[in-house]
Chain A
Amino acid sequence: MPLLEVEGVTVRFRGLTAVEDVSFQVEEGEFVAIIGPNGAGKTTLFNVIAGSQRPSRGRVRLGGRIITGLSPAEVSRLGVGRTFQIARPFGSLTVRENILLAAGREQLGRAWASLRLRHHDRAAARATELLLRRTGLEAVAEKRASELNVGELRRLEIARAMAGRPRLLLLDEPAAGLGVDGILPLRGIIGDLRGQGVTVLLVEHHVGFALSLADRVVVLDQGRVIAVGLPDQIRRDPRVIRAYLGEEEQELEPAPAPPAGEAPGPREGGRAEGVGGLA
């Protein structure tokens, strides 16, 4: 059974159809990217999965269970972690506490358990340390989250979402607004998630970034799925090229230039093989 099943999801805002009859699946352990030009409905679709937008039609299943109609908090507790495109840190808490709070979620469901002292939870503290290290936030762990720069905030978003040990991680345009020096470490962190067996659904405007990370790509245009396939197929797909050429020509170039020592060719080849094994 696929971990995530999106079945015929349609979202209408008054007269406007933002997402129309979108269906796709994400297998356990897979890394899927949803790409598409501006206004393709990526964020709306993302919000439907995360529970913050009710679809007009269709439904979403997580591990076979219908999650459409649940609140974002309920969806989160069922194992869906998410990041926000414009980072939403808990600004008055330190970076460490931001992550710790998400790691201690077992304490948060029951009123009495939440009256325990935070520092008594060793398991949550260990998980927090590990995530601080993996996301390279150790140096700023004691800073208030409101003092972080954009790149650090993006990494905090991922660390916080991962702290809840999600079955499915939803990444909402993590590379948006980052320069090359911000994107490279981020790509490393997101790439590492694969090694940890996390299932990832990435929504990304940045095509090069998405294609370099994903096992499989879903392309949206004007609310519809216009292509599904391996990154290499997507890169050559005329419909995709047309959809992007329609508005932004240069988008199909791998936008974040890979660093000198990192040749894109073999990496992508390796990934395609990996997908073959999965399929």
Chain B
Amino acid sequence: MSYAVVVGVTVTIYCLLTLGLNVIAGYAGQPHLGQAAFFGLGAYVAAILATRYGLPFWLDLPAALVLTGLVGVLLGAISLRLREDFLAITTIGLNFVMVAIFQYVPFFGGAMGITDVPLPSLGSYTFDNSAFLVVGLLMVCAVALFSAYLERTWFGAVLAAIKDDEVAAAAIGISVPVYKIAAFALGTATAGAAGSLYAHFMSVVTPASFSFSESVVLLSMLVFGGLGTIRGALLGAVVLGVMPEVFRFVSDYRMLLYGVLLLLMVRFQPAGLLGEGSWLHALLRRRRLERGGLGRAAA
């Protein structure tokens, strides 16, 4: 049971990361291959604030969120003017640079990272794994609801427009860079919040956890589930997050499996398992329509 809870917390963290990535890569269509770096930044910010400045989880969480989002704005402003393929490469580079900084700048504790990040507490109650799971799930709900809201705002439609055609978006008066940066800020801030949860849950933060390959895992999850949809981000994080835990052999070949899955999805189901227009989504919708049609016919 307790092991299942640990897996559950890991999956909620993956969900937060893919939901954040979904705003950037899914809604705005910007290939972002450095999400793990921002996850790491949030984790480091929280770990440093908690261990060196004694800030409680409830304060270092928003601090990690805001600070990571601000760094996201800064780096986004520099890199988002690039064309899509260059942007992908730039975000990869960004991931390597940030991991190198974590590793070699003494402030971040070197290769050993930062240890003894305290467990959060609420009054006299100190967090156990179940409490992490509850908080994680609440955060996932909050981000998913916010995403759903975003889809129905002007902001959401603007991101879709930018994803479809930047030139046409500019032609109707949209400041494309501003909106791209805003999407980047939201997506990276979410990763920062996930980082804070992670730091307190693991109690150790090391550079290796935020490598480029983690960014690839996150993008694989999102593409697998369905780029641009909340259900896709969640499904991808849950399925690909749980798989290595359930099937031990998967864990040895994890990266290989993700790579193959990514290729297969892009080739055969570019919309992802549950994306708009995917095979499974179409099937489910047909079922629902049929049932709805029958119901109406009976009535």
Q: Do A and B come from one complex?
A: yes
A-side residues, CB < 8 A to B, are 50, 52, 71-73, 76-77, 81-82, 84, 88-93, 97, 100-102, 104-105, 107-109, 111, 113-119, 160-161, 163-164
Cα–Cα, bound, A124→B156 (Å): 16
CA distance A115 to B151 in the complex (A): 10
Other-chain residue from A72, A92, A161 in contact with B167 (beta carbon distance below 8 A): A72
Q: For this complex, into which size category does the number of interface residues on chain B fall?
A: 20 to 34
CB–CB B178/A111 < 8 A? yes
Given A88-B168, A90-B164, A91-B164, residue A73 in contact with residue B153 (CB < 8 A): no
Asked whether B176 lies within 8 Å of A73 as measured between CB atoms, the reply is yes
- Please state if A119 and B152 are interface contacts (CB–CB under 8 Å): yes
Contact in complex: B161, A93 (CB < 8 Å)? yes
From B161, which residue of chain A is reached at the shortest CB distance? A90
Residue pairs across A and B with CB atoms within 8 Å: the count is 95
Q: A101–B168 Cα gap in the complex (Å)?
A: 12
Whether B154 lies near A73 (C-beta < 8 A) is: no
B173 and A108 contacting across the interface, CB-CB below 8 Å: yes
Cβ contact within 8 Å between A101 and B172: yes
Of all chain B residues, which has the CB nearest A83? B171
From A76, A91, A97, A115, give the contact of B173 (CB < 8 A): A76
Q: Which residues of A contact B276 (CB under 8 A)?
A: 92
Knowing A101-B161, A111-B178, say if A76 contacts B170 (CB, 8 Å). yes
Quote the shortest CB–CB distance from B54 to chain A (angstroms): 35
Please name all residues of chain A whose beta carbon is closer than 8 Å to the beta carbon of B173 when the two chains form the complex: 73, 76-77, 102, 105, 108-109, 164
Where chain A touches its partner, the secondary structure class is helix
A76 (CB) vs chain B CBs: closest residue: B173
A125 to chain B, nearest CB (A): 13
Q: Return chain B residues, CB-CB under 8 Å to A91.
A: 164-165
Measured in the bound complex, the distance between the Cα atoms of B172 and A101 in whole Å is 8
Task: Say whether B170 contacts A71, CB under 8 Å.
Answer: yes
In the complex, which residues of chain A have a beta carbon less than 8 angstroms from the beta carbon of B149?
Answer: 117
- 12 pairs from A and B in contact (CB 8 Å cutoff): A72-B167, A84-B168, A89-B164, A89-B165, A89-B168, A92-B164, A93-B157, A93-B164, A102-B173, A108-B158, A116-B153, A161-B172
Is B163 interfacial (CB-CB < 8 Å)?
A: yes
Contacts of A117 in B (CB 8 A): 149, 152-153
- A92 interface neighbour in B153, B163, B168, B179, Cβ under 8 Å: B163
Is A116's CB under 8 angstroms from B154's CB? yes
